[in-house]
Amino acid sequence: MRSKEMSIEKLTKYALQYGFFFPTAEIYSTAPSGFWDFGPLGSLLKKKFLDFAIRELIRRDEMILIDGAQILPRDVFVASGHLESFTDPVCSCQKCESTFRADKLIEEKLGIHVPERLPLAELEKLLQNVRCPSCGGQLGNLRLFNMMFKTTVGIDGEEVYLRPETTQNIYISFPRLYLYARRRLPLPVAQIGRSFRNEISPRQSLLRLREFTQLEIEVFYNPTTVDKIDKYRQVAKQKIPLYINGERIITTCEEAVDQRYIPNWLQAYYLVLIQEFYNKLGIPFGRIRFRQLNEEEKAFYATRAWDLEIETNFGWIELVACNDRGDYDLTSHMKVSGKDMHVTDEDIRFIPHVFELSMGVDRSILTLLDLGLVEEGERTVLKIHRELAPITVAVFPLVKNEGLIKIAKEVYELLRLDFDVVYDDSGSIGRRYRRQDAIGTPYCVTIDYQTLEDRSVTVRDRDTMEQERVMITDLKNYLTKKIRGT
């Protein structure tokens, strides 16, 4: 079995080789770590992932979608609690002065799980058993470090911050969004955008970044009606994999709510929604779990918290934080801004509660690459969902024959505005197939000598390697149905 480091190293090497992602400003030795650019194939994959999410999450649940500013005033983060509580524990080597994130270093070196909010005194005891990874020196100077990126705007230098999560834009816009939604609850609002965290020791490729993309969903709800909405009970018989106190529990949503594993039907519904999203992308049920966070692990604003985790070749990775935030956010912003956040629903005046799904987009893409990349004999294949494949179709002439090339380019022109298509006539047909297999292209269209006779082409399937004859006039419709699975 590959080690954790070697697994990520191998995957990153693959991504660099084929242009999925690479370090930002890598030609400069002064470039800071924790920043990555998506290359030609990675950009297409990321766009298609987000398009899939918009369809299968946002449209499916009839959510409102917004796009807020990345720089926000200081008061927003006073209200949210980030200026006070958005911290990580750091320590320094007393010999070489290298700085490390203490909890992650302890986990890596001692092989134990360190709760996110473990007191510094407890961390200090554990740290006594760890030496500096760089020089073997003694570690000390344990302290809390705020991960916010601070900057200024205007001539007078007004203090502002790059947002560490996209969700605050949604909370501070709630009064306007509530009016837009014609004063109806529950109100699900989504946002896709960049967030920024000054991570102490970013590493492991796209898993821990200083700039990253999030898809966050905030569901504003009336806590007295969460079990009275028929829509939420649609998931009653759905199986859901819970992980509580180290035990995997497979149960139905109905049983989970009855047993109070999940506190209400609203949360059950949205947990299933996000679970099914990853199922549709091809991640097996057995590789998914909702791990319940204990009091020491939960974020400071959460009353109940789950992490949707996926089992990869380098361990269980958190992809979505699922938090019941209560009325913490709107109450806090009301106090600092002076704006009334109360609503009236079911003849009750109250501040709405929020259930949150916070997805890491970049690490989701890394996970799909990890689970999709397989070796079958001499063939390396990226078996990624057909709709997400960066290149949808490759068009080949069987050999470099003038008549075949002419029709191949005609087919390329026919398809290129509807699909992401490449044309390739370099090398043997076998090598061209292998190149497309390695980047996940689901269909290769080959123009051969029979094409000259009847205008049909060979369509090869990436996963089965089976081939089918299709008329050029039917090709668009054929590929559309295959890619959408209809």
On whether both 18 and 55 belong to a single domain, the answer is yes
Assess if residue 154 is contained within a domain. Answer: no
Q: Per-residue confidence at 486, pLDDT binned at 50, 70, 90?
A: low
On whether both 229 and 248 belong to a single domain, the answer is yes
The two three-digit tokens of residue 345, written as one number: 């629903």
Residue with tokens 């004859």: 469
Q: What is the mean pLDDT of residues 15-31?
A: 96
Assess if residue 33 is contained within a domain. Answer: yes
Assess if residue 151 is contained within a domain. Answer: no
Among 68, 75, 67, 69, which Cα is nearest to 160's? 75
Alpha carbons 430 and 200: distance in angstroms, whole number: 46
On whether both 319 and 463 belong to a single domain, the answer is no
Q: Residues 107-125: pLDDT tens digits?
A: 989 999 888 778 899 999 9
Assess if residue 384 is contained within a domain. Answer: no
At 201 the pLDDT is 79
Assess if residue 118 is contained within a domain. Answer: yes
Alpha carbons 448 and 466: distance in angstroms, whole number: 16
Q: What is the mean pLDDT of residues 159-182?
A: 97
On whether both 362 and 425 belong to a single domain, the answer is no
Instruction: Indicate the SS3 state at residue 399.
Output: coil
Q: Residues 214-233: pLDDT tens digits?
A: 999 999 999 999 999 999 99
On whether both 102 and 217 belong to a single domain, the answer is no
On whether both 242 and 330 belong to a single domain, the answer is yes
Beta bridge partners of 444: 394, 460
At 3 the pLDDT is 39
For residues 459 and 9, which has the higher predicted lDDT (pLDDT)? 459
Query: Which residue type does 137 have?
Result: G
Q: Residues 296-317: pLDDT tens digits?
A: 888 888 999 999 999 999 899 9
Alpha carbons 388 and 384: distance in angstroms, whole number: 7
Assess if residue 346 is contained within a domain. Answer: yes
On whether both 191 and 250 belong to a single domain, the answer is yes
On whether both 442 and 338 belong to a single domain, the answer is no
For residues 99 and 40, which has the higher predicted lDDT (pLDDT)? 40
Assess if residue 385 is contained within a domain. Answer: no
| H-type alpha helices, 297-351 | 328-337
Q: Residues 247-273: pLDDT tens digits?
A: 999 999 999 999 999 999 999 999 999
At 299 the pLDDT is 83
At 2 the pLDDT is 39
Alpha carbons 413 and 249: distance in angstroms, whole number: 52
Least confident of 2-11, 123-132, 151-160, 394-403: 2-11
Assess if residue 383 is contained within a domain. Answer: no
Q: Residues 429-450: pLDDT tens digits?
A: 999 999 999 999 999 999 999 9
**What CATH number does the domain containing 57 carry?**
3.30.930.10
pLDDT exceeds 80 at position 177: yes
Q: What is the mean pLDDT of residues 377-398?
A: 96
**What CATH number does the domain containing 397 carry?**
3.40.50.800
How many independent structural domains does the chain possess?
3
On whether both 8 and 135 belong to a single domain, the answer is no
Provide long-range contacts, Cβ within 8 A and 24+ apart, for 168-172: 168/72, 168/76, 168/77, 168/80, 168/329, 169/66, 169/68, 169/69, 169/72, 169/193, 170/66, 170/68, 170/216, 170/218, 171/80, 171/218, 171/329, 171/330, 171/333, 171/354, 172/72, 172/76, 172/333, 172/337
Domain holding 248, by residue range, is 4-78+159-372
At 202 the pLDDT is 85
DSSP label at 469? E
Q: What is the mean pLDDT of residues 26-52?
A: 96
Per-chain mean pLDDT for the chain:
95
On whether both 120 and 178 belong to a single domain, the answer is no
Beta bridge partners of 384: none
The whole-model pTM stands at 0.93
On whether both 173 and 254 belong to a single domain, the answer is yes
Alpha carbons 94 and 337: distance in angstroms, whole number: 44
On whether both 207 and 246 belong to a single domain, the answer is yes
Query: Which residue type does 33 have?
Result: S
pLDDT exceeds 80 at position 289: yes
Are 39 and 21 in contact by the 8 Å Cβ rule? The answer is yes
Per the rule left: phi > 0, alpha: psi between -120 and 50, beta: everything else, 141 is left
At 251 the pLDDT is 97
